[in-house]
Structure 1
Amino acid sequence: MSEGIVAYQALIRDNHRCMVTGRLDSDSFTTGLTTDNPGEVISVTNCCHIFPDSLGNIVADASGPTEHESATVRTILARFGYEDICEELGLASTNANLHRLENVMTLDIMLRNVFDRLNMWFEAIDGQENTYKVVLAGGAARLATKGVIPEQVTFTSHKAGLQLPSPKYLRVHAACCKIAHMSGAAEYLDMVYGEMEELKVLAHDGTSADVLCYAIHDRLAALT
């Protein structure tokens, strides 16, 4: 599926609004695809990938930085029992499938930047399907004090048959964000590294994602 098609489907699924702030997509409004509600804020939205689409920029028989990065992520995902993610996203071939509804979100352009920089992630709330705590880090945490970002969100598909973002993908992304923002957490990293050495396969539901993401982080650091 092309990026343009999946972005349009995501807009329909997300009711032409940012999944976090609820702000109305300006293009959808100006082209008459949807109407606004009284007092509703109109903004620019983007289609944001959970697993970045750059992982799909693979050239056959090439061995550049992109190919190395994708191969590393693919190998570690497979090593720790996430072959299903590799298959779903097509990471095992040049025919990547990163442009899929389970891997994209409609986000306000500001939040797209925050999400891509690993300064925002979503933590699942137990017992509430597709409901997440919104976590902000770094300078983005100031947004929480301005009332721009809600404390939690519930993702809803506004059209039957259009899948919501994968909880598993979001869990792995959240773990990567936590690793990126850890400072002076040597003991924690030692614990995670120990688990990485001991575990043969991570939990299929993604609950051991911290171990996986440390492995990815550690391996990528070795390549740079």
Structure 2
Amino acid sequence: MAAQALARDNYRCMVTGRVDMSSSFSGLTSPKPGEITGYSNCCHIFPDSLENIVAGSTGPKEHESATVWTILKRFGYEDICEELGLASTSANLHRLENIMTLETIVHEQFDRLNLWFQEIDGQENTYKVVLAPAAGNLPTVVPIPDQVTFVSHRPELPLPSPKYLRIHAACCRIAHLSGAAEHLDLIFRDMEELKVLAHDGSSAGVLAYALHRRLAASV
């Protein structure tokens, strides 16, 4: 799937636009005049570590994976559980909807919940690129645009799922709430007591925090 993602993304980082150096060396693409190269790799929105499950085992990896799936299912995301493989040895975390081509340093900040993509209303597959203060001097190291539009250069290959990116963004926002200890305590209590999400979206923070606790532990 990594090779397909590279082809879909035109062998370039989806954020910086830099040409993947390995793909260039392999003759899969050539930088255009003025383009800069860099090393990119395969980035999973839901970490691929969640698929490291041994059938019949009850170890920490299995518990962690089962917890993420349980949280998703509990809050109405059965479709994501089915798409990515619900706590089974047939986990499908490598589906293209869960994969992005990102330059190495951008990938690291995405995994650390310091960079996320905020949907722009009315513009399909277009996102504001948000950086947390913890991202430090990232913009001085690589060019980070204010917004990006994801385009599949192979129409038959699907782009990253807006739903998956939305959950990742919610986790990031919760992770970087300023002075949020009391608020997070309240969310945690709600997480223990809540059976379903509120129809008006007011309980979205509960889901975000619950997922953040598990996803951050996987980084």
1:80-112 deviations in Å (ceiling 9; x for gaps): 000111110003311100001000000001111
Task: Tell me, yes or no, if the aligned pair for 1:21 and 1:148 is still in contact at 8 Å.
Answer: yes
Percent identity (aligned): 67
CA distance in 1, matches of 2:21, 2:77: 37
Displacement, 1:198?
A: 5.1
Aligned residues: 214
In the alignment, structure 1 residue 158 sits paired with structure 2 residue 140: no
Displacement, 1:31?
A: 1.3
Point out the more displaced range, 39-48 or 146-155.
146-155
Task: Tell me, yes or no, if the aligned pair for 1:74 and 1:91 is still in contact at 8 Å.
Answer: yes
**Which consecutive segments of 4 or more residues in structure 1 shift more than 4 A?**
190-199, 206-209, 217-221
Decide which of 191, 196, 201 is 1:200's aligned counterpart: 196
Change (3 A) 1:46 1:120: same
Structure 1 unmatched ranges of 5 or more: 1-5
Partner residue, 1:24: 19
- CA RMSD between the two structures: 2.4
TM-score (norm 1): 0.86
1:14-48 deviations in Å (ceiling 9; x for gaps): 00000000000011111111111111101110000
Displacement, 1:202?
A: 5.9
Decide which of 78, 96, 104 is 1:83's aligned counterpart: 78
Change (3 A) 1:156 1:145: same
Matched to 2:172, the amino acid is C
Displacement, 1:185?
A: 1.8
Partner residue, 1:3: none
Partner residue, 1:14: 9
TM-score (norm 2): 0.88
In the alignment, structure 1 residue 101 sits paired with structure 2 residue 91: no
Which aligned pairs between 1:140-219 and structure 2 lie closer than 5 A? Answer: 140-144=135-139, 148-186=143-181, 188-189=183-184, 192=187, 196=191, 197=193, 200-201=196-197, 209-217=204-212
1:183-217 deviations in Å (ceiling 9; x for gaps): 312454366457654562366xx996432121334
Task: Tell me, yes or no, if the aligned pair for 1:55 and 1:91 is still in contact at 8 Å.
Answer: no
In the alignment, structure 1 residue 111 sits paired with structure 2 residue 101: no
